[in-house]
Chains A and B, each alone.
Chain A
């Protein structure tokens, strides 16, 4: 079945460590996105990529980095510069109308 796979589902890290969240899709979608969601809030855009080897900052890119070396993959690195990294992270992809979302990664920094 086609879809988006985010791994791991839960992730714990110590403060000051970088961590990379995986996002893989087999939908042949051109565009991919990363969103952050805090409790009781909507989704905020971190980074998005419309084609391979190209990506743009979203509204809250500070402290995050991405790469898009393959169409299928769009990993997100949460760096130590991100002041409040504990959140629910969602990856999505699209081609035309409508987004397909992954099931999310819940990151907790202790």
Chain B
């Protein structure tokens, strides 16, 4: 069973912020939220993860709601190279838990 729900597709204008939502209403207390992206015909790339606090790195920001039932990945200034499929994953620390990838959100950045 899928642990997360994401919109199948989104568009974003180049240079604007891309906000990708994810619902994970059944998340348990020791599960993290992970985000990956996959550019066409390549392996997925890890972006960011968080438990309950908001997180930021050089690629993106992750905002997790207080009840932890949903999150948003923010790409602050989207470029054409950000066009990809984005996967939201919920799991325990990945070494000890198999990870389920759903269909993700296909983000198209428009010039």
Do A and B originate from a single complex? yes
Please, how many angstroms separate the alpha-carbon atoms of A96 and B99 in the complex?
13
Please, how many angstroms separate the alpha-carbon atoms of A43 and B59 in the complex?
23
Q: Which residues from A are CB-within-8-Å of B41?
A: 88, 104, 106
Given known contacts A31-B94, A88-B41, A94-B95, is B46 in contact with A99 (CB within 8 Å)?
yes
B 69-111 to A, binary, CB cutoff 8 A, 1 in contact else 0 = 0000000000000000001000001111011111110000000
Please, how many angstroms separate the alpha-carbon atoms of A94 and B41 in the complex?
21
Specify the main secondary structure of chain A where it touches its partner: strand
Do the beta carbons of A104 and B34 come within 8 Å of each other?
no
Number of A-B contacts (CB under 8 A): 65
Given known contacts A97-B32, A97-B94, is B103 in contact with A104 (CB within 8 Å)?
no
Specify the main secondary structure of chain B where it touches its partner: loop
Given known contacts A42-B87, A42-B104, is B98 in contact with A100 (CB within 8 Å)?
no
| Among B94, B96, B100, B104, contact of A98 (Cβ-Cβ < 8 Å) | B94
Q: Measuring CB to CB, which residues of chain A are less than 8 angstroms from any residue of chain B?
A: 4, 29-31, 33, 35, 40-45, 48, 50, 56, 58-59, 88, 90, 92, 94-104, 106
